[in-house]
Amino acid sequence: MRIMKGKYLLGGLLMAIIGAAIALFAYTTIIEKPVPIVVKDSSGIELPEAQAFLTAMQMQEGQIDFKFAAEQTVHAVVHVRTKSMVRQPDNPIMEYFYGDRYNSRPREQLGFGSGVIISSDGYIITNNHVIEDAENIEVKLNDNKVFNAEVIGRDPSTDIALIKIDAKGLAYLRYGDSENLKVGEWVLAVGNPFNLTSTVTAGIVSAKGRNLGILDDDYRIESFIQTDAALNMGNSGGALVDTKGLLVGITSAIYSPSGAYAGNSFAIPVTIVKKVVEDLRQYGEVQRALIGVVMTDVTSEIAEEQKLSEIKGAIITEVREGSAAADANLKTNDVIIKLDGVPVNTASDLQEQVGKHRPGDKVSVTFIRNGKESTLPVTMKNFAGTTSVVKPGMGAGNVLGARVEALNSSDKRTYRVDHGVKIVEIDEGLFRDLGLRKGAIILSINDKKVSSAEDVRKAIGEGEKSLKSIEGITSDGRQFHFQYGN
């Protein structure tokens, strides 16, 4: 009986073990198998968000996988090469031996940068400073194919340029959302700086809304995304993407005493980029909306003076006559804290939000005046003070048939001047009638120094009839002076 009892016990134990094994197998089959099946079927899913989500499902908690974003990006980032003719700085020794002809001879200058393909038919975003003054632009793809590129349009105010190559079926990047990008979030910087193939570096978002004061344009918009992703010379115009492989910025600048990577790089947010590119494609000219105020960040002193509860916002220091702000009854010392409900912490934040709009758009501006919060509707205007569409060639820098821009630091060194504007495009008008051509530098009008398109307009006043004198430097380096009347 004891022996039989032992056999029954052993048999029962074996049956229990077998039953548990069957149950475990069934559980594994039912519960665990659908996950790899879904991942294997993910090849047909096109949305980057969905692909990135499925990739994340296969990762351990806390892991970050950049492979998907890198694979989405590298073939859409290109190398941009430029050629331009520039006048060399004065050289007294060479001038002594060769005379004035030495300094007036333009020389070929080569430049390079990166670009981002945004459509399968060859539209490419790069930085304005990469291609400005270029007489020839070449684009080299990640597969080493080379194309000539044409300039569709450019915007010095944001440092964005749009170029195009004659190609089809290209890999391209989709736009992401830079507004929802958080400080501390991982991003990839992809560029093609050394004429090799696309290079990928990773970093985190260090800050948003940075104003560096590096653009010389009257209507500049600076609200950079700061990252610690490694960038070097030639990365300008490359892509900043999130972990989904979506474009959130165009890399534009590094902060470095030596010119090499030093831990701070800056990108133009895609909210600004997208609007500029759409304008250039649709209108051939950026439709810049303006509120018409001069503003600065709120400081602790200002917050105390204005009785603000927080040190946030953009305080108006001047309201331009006839501007959208003047029409809406905004006043000096009003502190703008929201635009269309979006918080405004700094003047750069306000610039970024305004930069998304076109003349004629109506927005709500929330501000604090004398300690009281109010909201007013504002209808934005263009640089000319109207709400109409700005035609090609009639942008903010257009004066008397020519487009002028503030001199950059390189121009100032070359021509040994500390002010002036350069003619970058010229059509029918007074400047062409005077014999001026593209590349000429205007230093003063009516004996008033000029450093911007706005300075030129103010100096001219009522138009051609009020022009008394103009002086500057021709594109081949000769000084000129025109005098009218007495």
Domain 293-379 = CATH 2.30.42.10 = yes
Cβ neighbours of 341 (radius 10 Å): 9
Q: Which residues of 142-154 are buried (b: 16+ CB within 10 A; e: fewer)?
A: beeeebebebebb
Active site residues: 129, 159, 236
pLDDT, position 157: 81
**pLDDT score at 43:** 35
- 258-264: Cβ within 8 A, 24+ apart: 259/233, 260/232, 260/233, 261/230, 261/231, 261/232, 263/228, 264/206, 264/226, 264/228
Tens of pLDDT, residue by residue over 366-392, are 999 988 999 999 999 887 678 877 766
In this structure, are residues 133 and 84 in contact, taking their beta carbons and an 8 Å threshold? yes
**Amino acid at residue number 108:** E
| Beta pairing partners, 115 | 78
What does the pLDDT look like over 110-121, one tens digit per residue?
Answer: 888 999 999 999
Q: Copy the structure tokens of residue 77.
A: 């980032």
User: What are the 10-residue block averages of pLDDT along the chain, 486 residues in total?
Assistant: 41 55 48 33 43 46 70 91 72 57 65 92 93 89 92 88 94 91 90 78 86 60 83 83 92 68 80 91 85 89 88 90 89 93 89 87 92 92 78 62 76 84 76 80 88 78 70 84 70
User: What CATH number belongs to 64-285?
Assistant: 2.40.10.120
Fold matches, 64-285 and 293-379? no
Determine the pLDDT at residue 5. 43
Residue boundaries of the structural domains of the chain:
2-58, 64-285, 293-379, 398-483
Give domain 398-483's CATH architecture: Roll (2.30)
R_g of the chain, CA atoms, integer Å: 29
pTM for the model stands at 0.68
What DSSP assignment string belongs to 121-142?
A: T-EEEEEHHHHTT-SEEEEE-T
Q: What is the pLDDT of residue 161?
A: 93
